[in-house]
Structure 1
Amino acid sequence: MTAIAGFRDMVTRNVRQSGIFIAFVLIVLLFSFLNSNFLSPGNLTNIVLQYSYILILAIGMVMVIVLGQIDLSVGSVVALTGAVAGVLVIRHGAPWWVGVLAALVVGVLVGMWQGFWVAYVGIPGFIVTLAGMLLFRGMTYRVLDNVSLSPFGGTYYDIANGFSTNGWFGGYGVDVFTLVIFAIAVVGYAVSQWRTRRGRIAYQQVVESMPIFVGKIVAIAAVVMWFGYQLAQYRGLPNVLILLAVLIMAYSVITQRSVFGRHIYAIGGNLNAAQLSGVKVRVVTFWTYVNMGLLAGVAGVVYSSRMNGAQPSAGNMFELDAIAAAFIGGASTTGGVGRVTGAMTGALIMAVMSNGMQLMGVPQSIQQMVKGLVLLLAVAFDVWNKRRADAR
């Protein structure tokens, strides 16, 4: 009975995470059925380029939400950091890397400012970042003098619009370099999953059967290689996809395997217990907001590069997309639950829905309504899961 109970817990404890992957697949299949161009190489590349900054923001946002806080200012910070880069690179002719560095520094300073008020003064993150949303938007208008700046051009433009390819094109117009990179990623994923499985077995934890384990790896590898093949047929590997891959791998390790990441989950799961256990709550909270500011700076660089300019209205509603991505991807409204991979899936669902509805010519008003309903259902599912767990 113990083994059966353990297996049942293994299957049900991550039902939200598993369900969101299934939902993502179903949404992709739906739009591919409604529009034959949805899974074309050009459109898949377009999805990566257009929504990369939301995925970057979602990484930091899920950490803030796991902590039990929120950040409503990230859209304004994206605008401000892009504005600073624009003034330096476009107006003053500074090298592209100076603009990037300045944007990141501004993002870190913003994170330190908000982290101080939340962690050390004790003001709720909702209030601090709501004030920040207004404050940094106003600063953006001041920095840009209420006008847009363009174009960046050159290397800065290539950050979000360029492609990493070495010209290894086969006779059928497929970039071999892109396929090699995706193949390496698949092998790395398989090795990581195998090591994780062996570790769980060593600690006598319940794992799925070998056929199921192998089938899961094969299925994921097939999807990843198919996606890589589609990109290889178009223009190769987007630079921004490499940046995203690095961030996802790094923050997956930080959140799941580092002391800092475990402390974030401990604080969000039970603040009092974390304090009694010796967790430095204020320090962890402060650096979580600093990290959010840094990632908002990265997103600001990517967005301004993609738009090839800096606009006072940039980043409008980005905070809501990032928050929605985290909640749709499995984060809990009460903190302590959520993963980077889940947030990425949630962000991809938002991106796929937006892109699919745009291809179908759905009015913007209807698109907003659909996104709102999806977010509401995701949170309702979280509440339902908690009540079911409490009833056991």
Structure 2
Amino acid sequence: MSVAPTNADLALDGSAAAGLPPVGQSPRRFTINLRQSGIYIAFAVIVVLFTILTDGDLLAPQNISNIVVQNSYILILAIGMILVIIAGHIDLSVGSVVATTGAVAAVLTVNHDVPWPLALLITLIVGGLIGAWQGFWVAYFGIPAFIVTLAGMLLFRAVNYMVLDNQRVGPIPNEVQTLANGFTEGYLGNIGLGALGGADLLSLLVGVVAVGLLALAQWRSRSGRLKYGQVVEPLWQFAAKIAVAAVVVMFIVVQLARSKNLPWVLLLLAGLVLVYSVLANRSVFGRQIYAVGGNLQAATLSGVKVKSVTFWLFVNMGVLAAVAGIVFAGRLGQGNPTAGTNAELDAIAAAFIGGAAVQGGVGKVVGAITGGLIMGVLNNGMSLIGAQSETVMLVKGGVLLAAVAFDVWSKRRAGATR
């Protein structure tokens, strides 16, 4: 015989009395967190808008490929920048470091005939040393990162000029150019896609694997929250979210497979996103980054080695700037004195548009990538419709201001409702 629950039973965890779903169960109604999902909604709106304005040219196979290749180095920088901003710092020097490391790679391979694998390794070490130099002044000498990296922006631009003797050096070896501009071969041949024509089978299989890994990661995350009694979205909403993500990923992959297959730099970028997402979300170092940015005093009292975390964050930023420098130099086919100009602004904008908080402690790697793609789509879409450069700058500036204003507004709203 079943016994109806009493009021005391319903109020054991306070959820029923408060009108909330029981702990560990999903609410039945549709829920959405604008602070977490707003960036993806905005990205979708921008893509749809420019698809209409360009009569579908924005989503043409060749154009999607161009967006990925042209913005790859900014997206690489955004991965490092989001971690620096989460910790409550900023790095204004990355554009100059991109130029300097690209110059080092070009001079080593072209002027000194250093084998390209060794040259790239040396370039990454140089980037790490640059990051260590700046990290020392920020972490152990106590100079604000804004000042240190502002000085670095000037210093390393000058170093770039000296390394290149203020002239272009090239051509860089084909292997490096292939990393930046090349595409995977059709190892398994093409298959027919009806009205869409043929597409590379290997690229399609990569897309299917990517969708599977995404679904698995999201399912494990949801299961973990349920295990600890946290409220999650309804199962149908979760499934719909995965389905939408799968459609988007496979659409992009199909378009790339119809064009020139997957860009090598996209595979590099995907690997970096995977590694740094795991680092930020599932490692001790990642939790320490959020702790330092969220509450510096509490992190210190909790035993976090704040100086060490800050130092290694800037070392990491230097290495990623070197990766971006190699990619950019490979794309140009040469070392260029003007390389990386304003790259720091685009990387910082990508991080803030992608959901990073001005005060630190908040942000995701995937969000920074989405923010970088928004900037890339804006640049590309407005170029396709023939917009003037000043119009592009006005729109990008407005989008950045709106993103930061939304972050500030959401925090005030959350504080007012507590």
Same fold (TM over 0.5): yes
Q: Secondary structure at the match of 1:304?
A: helix
For 1:136-155, list aligned pairs within 5 A: 136-155=156-175
CA–CA separation in structure 2 for the residues paired with 1:371 and 1:215: 31
CA–CA separation in structure 1 for the residues paired with 2:85 and 2:96: 18
Q: Which has the larger radius of gyration?
A: 2
Answering whether residue 271 of structure 2 is matched by residue 254 of structure 1, we say no
CA–CA separation in structure 2 for the residues paired with 1:89 and 1:201: 54
Structure-2 residue corresponding to 1:21: 40
Q: CA deviation at 1:4?
A: 4.8
Q: Secondary structure at the match of 1:170?
A: strand
CA–CA separation in structure 2 for the residues paired with 1:244 and 1:16: 25
**What letter corresponds to residue 324 of structure 1 in structure 2?**
A
Structure-2 residue corresponding to 1:353: 378
Please list every run of 5 or more consecutive structure 2 residues that lacks an aligned counterpart in the other structure.
Answer: 1-17
Structure-2 residue corresponding to 1:41: 61
Please list every run of 5 or more consecutive structure 1 residues that lacks an aligned counterpart in the other structure.
Answer: none
Could you tell me which of 316, 323, 338 is aligned with 1:313?
A: 338
**What letter corresponds to residue 102 of structure 1 in structure 2?**
I
Structure-1 residue corresponding to 2:190: 169
For 1:176-325, list aligned pairs within 5 A: 176-325=201-350
* TM-score, normalised via structure 1 length: 0.97
Q: CA deviation at 1:202?
A: 1.0
Could you tell me which of 78, 84, 89 is aligned with 2:98?
A: 78
For 1:84-99, list aligned pairs within 5 A: 84-99=104-119
CA–CA separation in structure 2 for the residues paired with 1:64 and 1:198: 30
CA–CA separation in structure 2 for the residues paired with 1:153 and 1:43: 26
More helix by share: 1
Structure-2 residue corresponding to 1:54: 74
Matched residue count: 390
CA–CA separation in structure 2 for the residues paired with 1:385 and 1:58: 23
Q: CA deviation at 1:173?
A: 2.7
**CA-to-partner distance for each residue in 1:28-48, whole Å, 9 max, x for gaps?**
001110112111000000000
Task: Say if 2:186 and 2:261, in contact at 8 Å, map to a contact too.
Answer: no
Q: CA deviation at 1:242?
A: 0.3
Task: Say if 2:73 and 2:324, in contact at 8 Å, map to a contact too.
Answer: yes
**What letter corresponds to residue 89 of structure 1 in structure 2?**
T
For 1:62-141, list aligned pairs within 5 A: 62-141=82-161
**What letter corresponds to residue 355 of structure 2 in structure 1?**
G
**Could you say what the CA RMSD is over the residues aligned between the two structures, in angstroms?**
1.5
Could you tell me which of 368, 373, 386 is aligned with 2:411?
A: 386
Segment of structure 1 superposing worse, 191-200 or 72-81: 191-200
Runs of 4+ in 1 over 3 A off after TM superposition: 4-8
